[in-house]
Amino acid sequence: MRAGRESALKRSAPILLTISLGLGLYFMAKEVLFLSELHALRPAMMSLAMTLLATLTFNGLKNAS
């Protein structure tokens, strides 16, 4: 039972790290856009960030199994 939990944690750690880094980069870029007064680019940046996160997460899940 414990080995199963350790295995699941090892598989999910890269995915969680990717999500954490992606969200950090998104919020940093959001601040840069806000300070640069480029508010119109925020929806496109959000879409790009979520697409990249989904792609990396899917790739991580595919490689983990």
List the domain range (segments joined by +) for residue 28. 2-64
| pTM recorded for the entire structure | 0.59
Residue among 5, 6, 12, 2 at smallest CA distance from 65: 12
Residue pair 33/41 in contact (Cβ under 8 Å)? The answer is yes
Cα separation, 57 vs 65, in Å, equals: 13
Q: Give the tens place of pLDDT for each residue, 31-54.
A: 888 888 887 888 888 888 888 888
> What is the pLDDT, as a whole number, of residue 65?
61
Total domain count, the chain: 1
